[in-house]
Amino acid sequence: MVDLIASAGKLDNAEKFAPLKPDQVIHSTMLGASKVHKDVERARKSTEHLMELMPDRSVAYVVLSNLYDEVGKKDEGAKIGRLMYKKNIRKEPALSSIAVKRRVHESFTGDMTNA
């Protein structure tokens, strides 16, 4: 439900609807919606929570950095990149999956082995 409300751009309502102790799914949902709707402050808050919940994962850092770049705050985006470097966090490769005849096939971005 939080995803539906947030995707519609009603981020205030989505935050109010979220559980008292939001988990990584709720924070990831809010981060994604904040990026779509260019809500930098909410994206920053969600990223901080995700950094605590998943300190070794790059996704929150990358999304926030990209949002900063999109809204013209390139210096802030660069700070996120430096923070990732300092913490030795590397961007995870994108993984795509497709189900064909009840079998799931996965490939990483740029993988041409099944081409």
pLDDT digits (tens, 9 = 90+) for 46-101: 999 999 999 989 999 999 999 999 999 999 999 999 999 999 999 877 767 778 88
| First-residue to last-residue Cα distance in the chain | 38
Which structure tokens are listed for 71?
Answer: 């809204």
- What is the pTM assigned to this prediction? 0.69
Domains and CATH numbers, the chain: 2-108 (1.25.40)
Contact 33, 13 (CB under 8 A): no
* Phi and psi angles of residue 97, each rounded to the nearest 5 degrees, phi first: -140, 150
Tally: H helices and E strands in the chain: 6, 2
Calculate mean pLDDT across residues 105-113: 64
